[in-house]
Amino acid sequence: MSNYQKAIEQVSKETNNLSTLLIKKIEHDFERVDNILLLTKKAIFTKDKNSVFYDNRILEEYNDTISIKLKSFADSFDEIEKLIYIDKDGDIKYASNRLSKDVNVSDREYFKELKNNKDLNKSFSDVVISRLSGRESILLLHAIRDENKNLDGILAAVINTSFIRKILSSIDIGQNGVALIRNSETTKLITRYPSLDDSLINKPLPKDNEISKLIKSGSKYGYLEYTASTDDIKRFASFITMENFPFYIQIALSQDEYLKSWKDNLIVKSIFLGLFIFASIIIISVMKRNFNNEQKLLKELNNEKDRFENMFRIHSSIMLLIDPKNGQILDANNSAVSFYGYSLEKLKSMNVNEINQLSQEELNTIYQEAKQLKTNSFVFEHKLNNGKIKIVEVDSSPIETTSGIILFSIIKDVTKEKKIEDRLKRSYKRIEKLIDLQDNMIILTNGKNTKYANNKFFDFFGFSNLSDFKKSHKSICEFFIQNDEFFHLKKLENPENWINELKILDGSKRIVAMKGKNSKEHKFFVTVNSFDEDIMIIGFTDITNTIKEKIKLEIKVTQDKLTNAYNREYFDKYYKDWIISINKFNLKLAVVMLDIDNFKYVNDTFGHDVGDLVLIDFVKVICTNLRSNDIFVRWGGEEFILVLKLKDEKDLLKILENLRHKVEIYNFPKIGKRTCSFGATIYKDDEDIFKTIKRADEAVYKAKNLGRNRVEIIS
- Asked if the model's pLDDT at residue 436 lies above 80, the reply is no
Q: What is the pLDDT of residues 508-520, one digit of tens each?
A: 788 999 999 999 9
pLDDT band at 61 (very low <50, low <70, confident <90, very high): very low
State the Cα–Cα distance between residues 595 and 565, nearest whole angstrom.
15
Q: What is the pLDDT of residues 654-704, one digit of tens each?
A: 999 999 999 999 999 889 999 999 999 999 999 999 999 999 999 999 999
Q: What is the pLDDT of residues 321-376, one digit of tens each?
A: 888 888 889 899 888 999 999 999 999 999 888 888 777 777 667 666 655 555 56
Under 8 Å between Cβ of 586 and 623: no
- Asked if the model's pLDDT at residue 90 lies above 90, the reply is yes
For residue 676, give the 3-state DSSP assignment.
Answer: strand
**Mean pLDDT along residues 420-434:** 67
Distance of CA 298 to the CA centre of its chain: 71
DSSP 8-state secondary structure symbol assigned to residue 292: G
According to the model, what pLDDT value does residue 358 have?
A: 78
Under 8 Å between Cβ of 592 and 642: yes
More confident: 106 or 274: 106
Q: What is the pLDDT of residues 480-510, one digit of tens each?
A: 999 888 899 988 888 888 998 888 888 778 8
For residue 409, give the 3-state DSSP assignment.
Answer: strand
State the Cα–Cα distance between residues 576 and 519, nearest whole angstrom.
34
User: Among 12-16, 115-119, 256-260, 651-655, whose mean pLDDT is lowest?
Assistant: 256-260
State the Cα–Cα distance between residues 604 and 551, nearest whole angstrom.
38
According to the model, what pLDDT value does residue 374 have?
A: 52
55-88: b (≥16 Cβ within 10 Å) or e: eeeeeeeeeeebbebbbebbebbebbbbbbbbbb
DSSP H or E stretch at residue 8: helix 3-40
**Mean pLDDT along residues 448-469:** 90
- Asked if the model's pLDDT at residue 534 lies above 70, the reply is yes
pLDDT band at 33 (very low <50, low <70, confident <90, very high): confident
Under 8 Å between Cβ of 23 and 531: no
- Asked if the model's pLDDT at residue 195 lies above 90, the reply is no
**Mean pLDDT along residues 221-249:** 84
- Asked if the model's pLDDT at residue 134 lies above 80, the reply is yes
Burial of 437 (0-12, 13-18, 19+ CB in 10 A): exposed
State the Cα–Cα distance between residues 6 and 9, nearest whole angstrom.
5
Mean pLDDT over the full length of the chain = 82
State the Cα–Cα distance between residues 569 and 574, nearest whole angstrom.
9
Could you give the angle at which helices 651-664 and 608-624 cross, rounded to 10 degrees?
Answer: 140
Total residue count of the chain as it appears in this document: 715
According to the model, what pLDDT value does residue 402 have?
A: 65
User: Among 150-154, 352-356, 395-399, 646-650, whose mean pLDDT is lowest?
Assistant: 395-399
**Mean pLDDT along residues 539-547:** 85
Q: Count Cα atoms within 13 angstroms, Cβ side, for 301.
A: 16
**pTM check: above 0.85:** no
According to the model, what pLDDT value does residue 57 have?
A: 37
DSSP H or E stretch at residue 110: helix 109-116
According to the model, what pLDDT value does residue 70 have?
A: 80
Q: What is the CA radius of gyration of the chain?
A: 39
Closest CA to 84 of 301, 74, 667: 74
State the Cα–Cα distance between residues 49 and 569, nearest whole angstrom.
13
What is the DSSP code string of 23-75? HHHHHHHHHHHHHHHHHHIIIII---TTSGGG-HHHHHTTHHHHHHHHHHHHH
Greatest mean pLDDT among 37-41, 120-124, 396-400:
120-124
More confident: 705 or 407: 705
- Asked if the model's pLDDT at residue 634 lies above 80, the reply is yes
According to the model, what pLDDT value does residue 105 have?
A: 92
219-234: b (≥16 Cβ within 10 Å) or e: eeebbeeeeeeeeebe
Phi/psi at 90 (5° precision)? 95, 5
For residue 334, give the 3-state DSSP assignment.
Answer: helix
According to the model, what pLDDT value does residue 310 have?
A: 67
Under 8 Å between Cβ of 318 and 331: no
Under 8 Å between Cβ of 332 and 344: yes
State the Cα–Cα distance between residues 533 and 332, nearest whole angstrom.
47
Under 8 Å between Cβ of 453 and 442: yes
Closest CA to 47 of 63, 59, 35, 61: 59
Residues 6+ apart with CB under 8 A from 160: 81, 133, 135, 136, 137
State the Cα–Cα distance between residues 443 and 544, nearest whole angstrom.
20
The residue type found at 103 is V
CA distances to 176, 648, 676 from 651, in Å: 78, 6, 19
According to the model, what pLDDT value does residue 552 have?
A: 66
Put residue 712 in one of left, alpha, beta given phi > 0 → left and psi -120 to 50 → alpha.
beta
